[in-house]
Structure 1
Amino acid sequence: MFNTNLPTLNELPTSRQLLRSTVVAVAVAAALLVTVVMPSEYAIDPTGAGRVLGLTQMGEIKKTLADEAAADAAVQPAAAPVSEAPAPQEQVATAPVAEPVAEPQPDLKSDEMTVTLKPGEATEIKLEMLTKARVSYEWTTNGVPVNHDTHGEPYNGPKGYYHSYSKAKQINADKGEFTAIFDGTHGWFWRNRSNSDVTITLRTKGEYLSIKRVI
């Protein structure tokens, strides 16, 4: 560390000197304010020195620009708020729904057929029917009993294959209803095991395409 000597009283400025320095500083500041600051910033030039120095013109330009900016701000319409357009919704392509196509249904038919069998003879009457078609039937004999089998055979089915709906031996009448379980021929087989002729009468009503005697 260095030791410094404190100044003596003779080296300190006197009160008069301080006052004079203060007055000089205020005077210089006031002169700068009047001759430089006021002309260049506010275009106010009480002494005329600012115009000589070109500072007043600078202040006038600043003032003009400020006035124009204020005028523009006064007449500028408030900006309307910008609303965001809704995002376009994605269009999902959907396949057209196909209308259900109704399957053609056969017309309701009704028929009556009569056959006569000699002793030992057999016969068969068949209906052509589609799957789920229904038919009601009734057959009777002239009193002589017969053996019967009500069954169905599919189109182009395996050889010897058939589906039996009902069968019985030595009866002289039967009635009922059945529903075809496949496309094909459906009907009745009778055999006369008696020693007398037998006459069979068959009545049918339902959703079949045709009726015919096979044998």
Structure 2
Amino acid sequence: MFNTPLPTVNELPSAHQLVRSTVIALLAAVGLLVTVVMPSEYAIDPTGVGRVLGLTQMGEMKITLAQEALADAAPQPVQEAPAPQIAAATLAAQPAPSPAVQPSPALKTDEMTVTLKPGEATEIKLEMLKDKTVSYEWTASGGPVNHDTHGEPYNGEKGYFHSYSKAKQVKGDKGEFTALFDGTHGWFWRNRTSNDVTISLKTTGDYLSVKR
């Protein structure tokens, strides 16, 4: 038998001490959640500490990699990549519009370039309103890339996006798409080659701004 004496009432922690310890533990857990877990896992950084520590960038990269993994895992036979090509070919076969239906002067045109090192990925997005249309053309110099043209709604569910077109190991794409919702719509590229690849993108359409 053990003869260890039982603690006396005075040696046991009081109710006040237990409550204080519980509150301190809860505050510490909430602090770690807000400053470490949320920025590094979900790219949510309400305090700004996560970005200073580099955790928010980690979370953004995790989300980007998850989106690419979802795009790569989607069944290839039902991918929407051919749709923009068909639309572009149809438009090319039609006669030029008469002066009465020339594009609105409000349409924007931008040309951008970005260089990806081996293994790098990047995005260029357009802020667009629902039912607005943009035409685009991009080419890759130095090697093929994986790409996904997709949109994400403002205040949408975490990780949700709609893919307009996607393909692996291609050197370019062109076509047009109409925004299905208010949000950011654009292109994600990843360089899987061993060389630097430069991507040149031209856009023309009814969009609010460019986000890089």
TM-score (norm 2): 0.50
The answer as to whether partners of 2:179 and 2:185 remain within 8 angstroms in 1 is: yes
The structure with the largest helix share of the pair is: 2
Is 1:174 the equivalent of 2:195? no
> CA shift at 1:176, angstroms?
0.4
Q: What do the CA deviations read for 1:40-65 (whole angstroms, capped 9, x no partner)? A: xxxxxxxxxxxxxxxxxxxxxxxxxx
Q: How do residues 37-186 of structure 1 correspond to structure 2 at under 5 angstroms? A: 107-186=106-185
Cα displacement (A) at 1:161: 0.3
| 1:119-162 per-position Cα deviation (integer Å, ceiling 9, x unaligned) | 00000000000000000000001141000000000000000000
After TM superposition, what 4+ stretches of structure 1 lie above 6 angstroms from structure 2?
A: none
Q: Distance in 2 between matches of 1:176 and 1:193?
A: 24
CA contact (8 A) 2:142 2:195 kept: no
| Secondary structure of residue in 2 paired with 1:211 | strand
> Residues of 1 paired with 2:175 and 2:161: CA distance?
19
Taking only aligned residues, the RMSD between alpha carbons, in angstroms, comes to: 1.4
Q: TM-score, normalised by structure 1?
A: 0.50
CA distance in 2, matches of 1:106, 1:187: 22
Where does structure 2 lack aligned partners over 5 or more consecutive residues? 1-103
Match of 2:191 in 1: 192
Q: In structure 1, what is the equivalent of residue 200 of structure 2?
A: 201
Deviations 1:59-112 (A, max 9, x none): xxxxxxxxxxxxxxxxxxxxxxxxxxxxxxxxxxxxxxxxxxxxxx99210000
The answer to whether the 8 Å contact 1:106/1:207 transfers is no
CA distance, structure 1, for counterparts of residue 112 and residue 145 of structure 2: 17
Q: CA deviation at 1:193?
A: 0.1
CA contact (8 A) 1:106 1:209 kept: no
C-alpha distance in 2, partners of 1:182/1:172? 28
8 Å CA contact retained: 1:107, 1:208:
no
Q: Counterpart in 1 of 2:39?
A: none
Q: Secondary structure at the match of 1:204?
A: strand
- Aligned pair in 2 of structure 1 residues 106, 154: CA closer, same or farther (>3 Å)? farther
Q: Quick one: percent identity of the two aligned structures?
A: 78
Q: Kindly name which structure, 1 or 2, has the bigger radius of gyration based on alpha carbons.
A: 1
CA shift at 1:198, angstroms?
Answer: 0.1
Q: CA deviation at 1:183?
A: 0.1
Distance change (3 Å), C-alpha of 1:106 and 1:126: farther
State the alpha-carbon separation in 1 of the partners of residues 107 and 167 from structure 2.
28
Contact 1:142 1:199 (C-alpha < 8 Å) held by counterparts: yes
User: Which one-letter code corresponds to 1:152 in the other structure?
Assistant: G
